[in-house]
Chain A
């Protein structure tokens, strides 16, 4: 759909839509209203919406200011907020046909938006050269493709990372975890290290879809095959049993502490709050974790065959299908991804720079030790990556929550792994076939 939004066929429907928009938008006291199109004087104001903290806000504003400096006719209406509530607001704005021209999105929601035609297909811009993706790793670029359309341009790359408390382990003269350990070896290690340090060896990641997904790929399965589930109920049960074993062996903390770790907030991960020696995160979160603890942290790949991990887009920039000036909006995300100066400003805040040239120069210039370690670890892993999976389909965000629910049932001993696996599998099938 490329028709401008002012030419909706049925006025009555437009009225209804407007009413819904009003109803949904009213209590949110939004910024970004005012759907005025670009004036004739050539001036363009684009709205830009992202989630993140203070640091990201500063970097993003600097990078956008640089764009305005080079293109004085283009200015930005910037809105940002914390991750919690971001997608509620984005959905509300979209419902009111007033989505931001450019917005940040992640793989939990990309398919939800792309399949409903909210995002602009970037493929034509890519083929016409207006959007330069020549320096993007192929797997990373493809991770933004939904139903054959480039729905989001990766704004950073990451992959699964197991972050451990180096200081505590070294003090207790324990081995450090290594990339390539088997899952069984890792759990045995966690048990020993936990006993030696007095801190449980590992967070229980059975509620964590990204750990489950890597494990599945190592079993020759997938989380998703297109719009189907790529695993069976037996796989889920085996996964839950693996971690029930770890809990019974006291390699993990107790259920209520695990529940804290299941919260998505990076700063509350158990490796930071000293309630476990390892946490299961995205590798690019390592510098953020390091900021929140005095102990020195290290990062390796998840257990098992690390080549089954993949270059995941930590987040994307998407352009709204109804954006005011689509060409300019695409040019802006092209600038943020490929301009060396912009790349230098943005650093690894959204993940490793997607443009590999910029990635190399950022890595060479940084003086942040944990950022350097992260880049090195991801660079090392990326040499061996096999084929990347495609971006999760519609329903993924529900499935993620269902996994958490079912896994917590086993963690609190309210259900056996078999019962919880049944429950999760049924709920996932319902969610994906909706």
Chain B
């Protein structure tokens, strides 16, 4: 995703990178028919993939969400149960609401912190000093490792009782605890891991910062604006479409957190359910308790909720995202 945004941004300097809302409608091609067929033929590998890997399984899971499908039984003994799974979710599964809470806390804290870290580092790197390219690469590295299991294992060991973090604390005479084994702190370590992987939004911010016209800063400083004022009056407004883009992506990412929680808790969401993310609860329901119908229902509620959150972000975007199109 990010490379696309970056290249489009480069081609026309005054325009911000193409955020999701920056579409422009084009005139329809005059000729139809043959062109369309050829288009679909060229698209077919992708279309087939979309159908086989995304669309059909999604429809299947929608269907399954109304059944008591349990993975192991004969298909013949799978029954249609109507809205029972949904009813159970909202009224009879306390762990569901707990998982929602854990996930919301995680996303609400991790996403802004990650974006702030990304923007802060991007601002520093944008000052153009020797070796900035090297640092850019280094800061981006953790994102390349992404949701990797190895990274989560390293994290668990770092924040364990005898981990590197506690060795560091001991230099200052502080005796740390086993952070990952403490229900009050386990989620915190996961948030920290997510924030640390700020490389992807950072690169996008950096590309956005390079688009800010120098004349604006010159004009601002002629008017007597200091660096802080310049940041709020020039940088932030020009950057707002990029912030918007990153906010949408990272919010969705935040809600979908799974790997690190799975590894840290050995797949249980422990200690004491403190890392029971929504997706992890879904996985446990489907694959260890064999309630795949229920898990499918959870997946659909999840999809709709994320859609809703994204829609809300889009609505609020009207009030704070500024598009300075080329003709301004």
- Residues of chain A at the chain B interface (Cβ within 8 Å): 1, 8-9, 13-14, 16-17, 19-20, 22-24, 26, 84, 87-88, 91-92, 94-95, 112-113, 116-118, 256-257, 259-260, 263-264, 397-398, 401, 404-405, 408-409, 412, 414, 430-431, 434
CB closest residue in chain B, given A426: B94
Q: List 10 A-B contacts (CB under 8 A).
A: A26-B53, A91-B72, A91-B290, A92-B71, A94-B71, A116-B70, A116-B74, A116-B77, A408-B270, A434-B291
For the complex, would chain B's binding face be called helix, strand, loop or mixed by DSSP majority?
loop
Q: Please, how many angstroms separate the alpha-carbon atoms of A260 and B160 in the complex?
A: 10
CB closest residue in chain A, given B183: A412
Q: For residue A430, which residues in chain B have a CB less than 8 angstroms away from its CB? A: 92
Known contacts A87-B288, A256-B181; decide if A405 and B75 are in contact (CB<8 Å): no
Interface size band for B: 35 or more
Minimal beta-carbon separation of B293 from chain A (angstroms):
11
**Is B72 a contact of A84 with CB atoms below 8 Å?**
no
Known contacts A404-B268, A412-B271; decide if A259 and B287 are in contact (CB<8 Å): no
Known contacts A112-B290, A257-B178, A405-B272; decide if A20 and B72 are in contact (CB<8 Å): no
Q: For residue A17, which residues in chain B have a CB less than 8 angstroms away from its CB? A: 75
With beta carbons under 8 angstroms apart, the residue of B52, B60, B72, B291 that contacts A94 is B72
Known contacts A84-B267, A91-B71, A405-B270; decide if A398 and B178 are in contact (CB<8 Å): no
With beta carbons under 8 angstroms apart, the residue of B74, B266, B287, B289 that contacts A84 is B266
Q: For residue A401, which residues in chain B have a CB less than 8 angstroms away from its CB? A: 268, 288
With beta carbons under 8 angstroms apart, the residue of B57, B73, B182, B270 that contacts A23 is B57
**Is B73 a contact of A13 with CB atoms below 8 Å?**
no
Known contacts A16-B75, A94-B72, A117-B74; decide if A260 and B181 are in contact (CB<8 Å): yes
Q: Which of B52-75 touch A at CB < 8 Å?
A: 52-53, 56-57, 60-61, 64, 69-75
Q: Interface code B288-314, partner A: CB below 8 Å = 1, 0 otherwise?
A: 111110000000000000000000000
**Is A88 a contact of B178 with CB atoms below 8 Å?**
no
Minimal beta-carbon separation of B155 from chain A (angstroms):
16
B215 near A: Cβ within 8 Å? no
**Is B289 a contact of A398 with CB atoms below 8 Å?**
yes
Q: Please, how many angstroms separate the alpha-carbon atoms of A94 and B272 in the complex?
A: 31
With beta carbons under 8 angstroms apart, the residue of B64, B74, B266 that contacts A1 is B74
Q: Please, how many angstroms separate the alpha-carbon atoms of A246 and B182 in the complex?
A: 20
CB closest residue in chain B, given A265: B266
Query: Top 6 nearest A-B pairs by Cβ distance?
Result: A256-B181, A256-B178, A23-B57, A116-B72, A17-B75, A116-B73
CB closest residue in chain A, given B268: A401
Q: Please, how many angstroms separate the alpha-carbon atoms of A13 and B53 in the complex?
A: 20
With beta carbons under 8 angstroms apart, the residue of B69, B71, B288 that contacts A397 is B288
**Is A259 a contact of B268 with CB atoms below 8 Å?**
no
Q: For residue B292, which residues in chain A have a CB less than 8 angstroms away from its CB? A: 95
Q: Please, how many angstroms separate the alpha-carbon atoms of A116 and B75 in the complex?
A: 11
CB closest residue in chain A, given B95: A427
Q: For residue A256, which residues in chain B have a CB less than 8 angstroms away from its CB? A: 161, 177-178, 181-182, 271
Minimal beta-carbon separation of A114 from chain B (angstroms):
10
Q: Please, how many angstroms separate the alpha-carbon atoms of A1 and B273 in the complex?
A: 40
Additional 18 contacts, C-beta under 8 A, given A88-B287, A257-B178: A14-B75, A19-B56, A20-B60, A23-B60, A91-B71, A91-B287, A92-B71, A95-B292, A116-B77, A117-B74, A256-B177, A256-B182, A397-B288, A401-B268, A404-B270, A408-B270, A412-B183, A414-B183
